[in-house]
């Protein structure tokens, strides 16, 4: 993970309640309960995306990186 992506994720994790709405827009299959379980933890989010969308860990990680880079938190 690049430093830029790490910094973006740190901001997302720090403002998880606000960011979770953006997560829901990006990955609409995730439930509110699942977003509460994630609670800003990138690895848990990665696992939930893998599970719901039937993709690999690498694909989920790439999606999160791209999303985090675009998000202005």
Query: pTM for the full model?
Result: 0.87
pLDDT of residue 28: 97
Position 72 confidence tier, pLDDT thresholds 50, 70, 90: low
Place of tokens 């790439």: 62
Cα dihedral sign for 49, 30, 70, 11?
A: negative
């Amino acid at each position: 993970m690049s430093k830029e992506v790490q910094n973006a994720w740190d901001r997302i994790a720090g403002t998880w309640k606000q960011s979770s709405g953006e997560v829901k827009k990006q990955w609409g299959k995730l439930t509110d309960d699942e977003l509460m379980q994630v609670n800003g933890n990138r690895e848990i989010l990665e696992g939930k995306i893998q599970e719901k969308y039937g993709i690999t860990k690498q694909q989920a990680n790439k999606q999160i990186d791209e999303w985090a880079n675009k998000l202005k938190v």
